[in-house]
Amino acid sequence: MTRLATRLQGIPPTIFTQMSALAVRTRSVNLGQGFPDVDGPPEVIARAVQALESGHNQYAPGPGVPELRQAVARHQQRHYGIELDPDSQVLVTTGCTEAIASALLGLVDPGDGVVVLEPYYDSYVAMIQMAGGVRQPVTLRAPDFRLDVDELRAAITPSTRWVLLNSPHNPTGTVLTRDELQAVADLALEHDLVVITDEVYEHLVFGVEHVPIATLPGMAERTLTLSSAGKSYSFTGWKVGWATGPAELVAATMAAKQWLTFTSGAPLQPAVALALDELPDWPARLAADLRLRRDLLCEGLGAIDGVEVSVPEGTYFVTTDVSALGWDDGMAFCQALPERAGVVAIPSQVFHDDPRGPGRHLVRWAFCKTPQLISEGIDRLAGADLGA
């Protein structure tokens, strides 16, 4: 076994796969994994079909088809006023997952410190380890999960070179405010750090503003922004993502990407270009609808005695604290839940370094599901004995 494989052995296999399999086996309502149960716009699917039937079936250019790179540049301009050269500042990837992997492998040297928000989206931990980087966590704590700027300042050491940001944040649903982002930017400028920011939930915010950190003064030059079509257009299975920013950061990301997948799925790229160009308001409508489903789930969970709800400002997820139900930890609760209630949820402790630490009693629930499914889940929970 290589040293890398040994390091990766310390990372448990993805909890989502385990929990989704458990949901199928126990016929549970799956409020665990974050995938919508309704597809994105039909005209986007029609464009993909057309591309499949009209010869878009061989390797796409390495950086992505020009049509999509241009559409991504227009998207950043339209929504945020960010100007990008589609040829040198936009890279198409196989989902945001590959953008994260390529950015970290292409940019982080062994021993580099990477400041990263805990709880983590799980691929960050694996990819920082694969790159040989050193994780320098800053924890968002229940119940409000705000960024503690003093903790951020304290996490930075002489070895720190990167900040891996995620806003809107999975799993907490925190959307960093302009002031919080300005504090990150100030520290990045002061310590000459580069920010890699995962903004896959950029459009899924509920009554608050999503501010790309690249738009803050002095940050465009030192920010690589990652996103994808999966969440914005409800095509999580398509895995079409992108990295944008300064040409040298994009080139380093491309250098790693070419040895991971070489190029990304050709026929889906024109379809995502159409979505970005012709349906720019679709994600905002999705967010308005998701907000209703967030409220439905939060109200339902909040009505259960002993469940404390932290209402999220964005993403697909709501977090609850289940300590008042008497459970030792969220893992034990989630393992008992399918049998007790026929519902699956994710223990947030898996997104933390220390399972006995600040995420110990937290549980993540997904509301990117139909209202019928959410209501069914709530009815089952309300009718079950959830005490330890």
Ligand X SMILES: Cc1ncc(COP(=O)(O)O)c(C=O)c1O
Question: Token pair of 344, please?
Answer: 């699956």
- CB nearer to ligand X: pick between 97 and 323: 97
Residues from 15 through 34 that contact ligand X (CB under 6 A): 34
Q: Which stretch binds ligand X (CB under 6 A): 95-103, 204-212, 299-307, 367-375?
A: 95-103
Both structure tokens of 378: 């709530």
Residue 93, number of CB atoms within 10 A of its CB: 29
Alpha-carbon distance of 87 to 70, in angstroms, equals 8
- Report 232-251 residues binding ligand X (CB under 6 A): 236, 239, 241
Task: Give the shortest CB-38-to-ligand X separation in angstroms.
Answer: 17
Q: Please name the helix (run of DSSP H) or strand (run of DSSP E) that holds residue 253, with its range, or none.
A: helix 247-260
Number of other residues whose CB lies within 10 A of the CB of residue 154: 11
Contact 59, 262 (CB under 8 A): yes
Q: Which of residues 200-219 bind ligand X (CB under 6 A)?
A: 200
Q: Which residue is nearest to ligand X (CB)?
A: 95
Q: Which of 123, 121, 122, 125 is nearest to 136 (CA)?
A: 125
Cα–Cα distance for residue pair 100/95, rounded to 1 Å: 9
- Residue closer to ligand X by CB (options 96, 104) is 96
- Tell me the DSSP string of 174-219: ----HHHHHHHHHHHHHHT-EEEEE-TTTT-BSSS----GGGSTTT
In the complex, minimum distance from the CB of residue 69 to ligand X, in angstroms, rounded to a whole number:
17
**Judged by CB, which is closer to ligand X: 38, or 388?**
38
Applying CB under 6 A, which of residues 118, 198, 313, 329 lies at the interface with ligand X? 198
Per CB under 6 A, contacts with ligand X among 309-368 are: none
Gap between the Cα atoms of 4 and 258, Å rounded: 20
Query: At its nearest, how many Å lie between ligand X and the CB of residue 54?
Result: 25
225 binds ligand X (CB under 6 A): no
Rounded Cα distance between 99 and 102, Å, is: 5
- In the complex, the smallest distance separating the C-beta of residue 233 from ligand X, rounded to whole angstroms, is 11
Shortest gap between Cβ of 315 and ligand X (angstroms)? 7
Compose the 111-140 pattern: x for residues touching ligand X by CB under 6 A, - for all others: ----------x-------------------
Smallest gap, in angstroms, from Cβ of residue 120 to ligand X?
Answer: 9
The kind and range of the H/E element at 15 are helix 15-25
In the region spanning residues 154 to 173, those forming contacts with ligand X, defined by CB under 6 A, are: 166, 170
Least CB distance from residue 304 to ligand X, whole Å?
Answer: 26
Per CB under 6 A, residues contacting ligand X are 34, 95-97, 121, 166, 170, 198, 200, 228, 230, 236, 239, 241
